[in-house]
Each structure stands twice: as C-alpha cells, then as structure tokens.
Amino acid sequence: MKFFLDSAHVNEIAYALEMWNLDGVTTNPRHVQASGKPFMQVIQEIAKLFDGTDKPISVEVNPHHTDWKLMVAEGEKLAAMCPNFVIKLPAIEPGFKAVAALADKGIRSNLTLVFSTSQALQAMRMGAAFVSPFIGWKEANGEESVRFIQEIAAIRDNYGFETEIIVAAVRNGRQIAESAIAGADIVTAGLAVFKDSFDHPYTHDGLVKFCNFWDQTKYE
C-alpha cells in the first residue's frame, strides 16, 4: 500500500518525503493555484525533490482541453520534462483516447475525476498506469465508496490489469484503512489527513501514564 501526497506545496512534499517514506505526489489545478506559483515553476520545483527516484508525480493537463490530440501534445511536453511525471487526464472520452495514445509512446497517465466503476474499467482497458476514484466527493453526495473501490479492485484482478488504483479525495484515516482493505494500491491525501491518521488521543494519554511510571523507577 503506497501513500501519495495530494499537494503542490513544495515544503509539505519535502516534509512527507523525509518523515513518511512518501511514495509519490498527485497535483491538480486547485493545488497549483494554492501554491501561488506558476504551473511550470511549481511542477519543476516538485520534480527536483524526486531527482534520482522513480516515484511518480501526477501533473494535470489544461482542463479546458476537449480534443484528445491537444491532451496528448501537452502530455508529451510534460513527460519530456521529467521521467517522474505521470500525465493526469480527465475521465471523459477524449481523456481515455489520450491515455491510449500516450501509452503507445511509453508515457504513463492517471485518469482523474473517476466516479463510476465503468469509468475505471475503461481507464484500465485503455492502458492507464493509474486510475483515481474520488471517494470523498461521492461520500459528500451521500454515495457509498467502499463497494466502489472493491469493484474496481475486482476488475483489476479479474483481468490482470496493471493499472494501479489511487483512492483520491480522501478525508480521514478510516477511509485510508478502508481503501487498503478494499484492495486499493495507493491512497492520495493532504498532509493534515495523513498526520491525523497517524495519531490517536489514547496514544498521548498512554504516554503521559508511562512517563509517570518511568519517572518513579530507577534506570539501573
């Protein structure tokens, strides 16, 4: 089970790399906007952090593109900049076509904004390296998400697809654990979500108790 950071904040990514053995990064236009930096600048700064590793960094093409050829042209340009870049494409018909065209050129892509099992299936069929089902958005809409991930994982296993499932829009530790149990390969989440998931108030209560006992005991 791999952990990706969903962020374009260079300092957050550097922190997670150092502290958590981070496995990769996903960015999107909202994260890039929040970084306050131009797109090209921020993706190059992120790329520098991953120099000499094979960890993937998803970078999203211009979301205005509706022509698959424009998606492919931009994907090729981005992929040429850094071997870690994975081209993030929307789960719409031209996006699926662009996945196949990029795969033919040896360029990996990540299908984003996936909300149905059949969208995930088409991403896998077309040769996506990654598929990103958005569970937080579904749950906010009153839809279930565990069965959704189980279905995608079952299809991956039934047909031996090599596509890795990145569970996205993850809001809490429960969803991280459920994704792992349901058969996802990767969870991508924000810094605060991961930090909260590593923590529990009883751990801190227990530490206070153990410190008290420690202080009442001789070491040797």
Known active-site residue 55: no
Residue 219, C-beta contacts closer than 8 angstroms, at least 6 positions apart: none
Written as six digits, the tokens of 182 are 């349901």
Catalytic residue among 2, 55, 77, 88: 88
Distance in Å, CB of 80 to ligand E4P, minimum: 22
Pick the stretch among 89-97, 130-138, 147-155, 195-203 that binds ligand E4P (CB under 6 A): 130-138
Distance in Å, CB of 140 to ligand E4P, minimum: 9
Residue numbers 186-215 binding ligand E4P by CB under 6 A = 188
Residue numbers 133-192 binding ligand E4P by CB under 6 A = 134, 136, 168-169, 188
**With the C-alpha atoms ordered 130, 199, 193, 10, is the resulting torsion angle positive or negative?**
negative
Select from 28, 119, 145, 197 the one that contacts ligand E4P (CB under 6 A): 28
- The closest of 162, 110, 172 to 135, measured between CA atoms, is 172
Nearer to ligand E4P, 172 or 212 (CB): 172
Residue numbers 4-23 binding ligand E4P by CB under 6 A = 6
CA distance from start to end of the chain: 42
- Check: CB of residue 207 under 8 Å from CB of residue 185: no
Distance in Å, CB of 85 to ligand E4P, minimum: 14
Distance in Å, CB of 193 to ligand E4P, minimum: 9
Select from 30, 69, 105, 147 the one that contacts ligand E4P (CB under 6 A): 30
Residue 116, C-beta contacts closer than 8 angstroms, at least 6 positions apart: none
Distance in Å, CB of 126 to ligand E4P, minimum: 18
Select from 84, 122, 132, 163 the one that contacts ligand E4P (CB under 6 A): 132
Residue 98, C-beta contacts closer than 8 angstroms, at least 6 positions apart: 68, 71, 72, 75, 87, 89, 109
* Backbone φ, ψ for residue 174 (5° rounding): -60, -45
Which whole-number Å values give the CA distances from 176 to 4, 157, 164, 170, in the listed order?
A: 11, 20, 16, 7
Q: ∠ CA(174), CA(46), CA(36), 5° rounding?
A: 90
How many other C-beta atoms lie within 10 A of the C-beta of residue 92? 16
Nearer to ligand E4P, 58 or 104 (CB): 58
Count of residues binding ligand E4P (CB under 6 A)?
A: 11
Select from 112, 119, 175, 197 the one that contacts ligand E4P (CB under 6 A): 112
Residues marked as catalytic: 88
In the complex, the residues that contact ligand E4P under the rule CB under 6 A are 6, 26, 28, 30, 112, 132, 134, 136, 168-169, 188
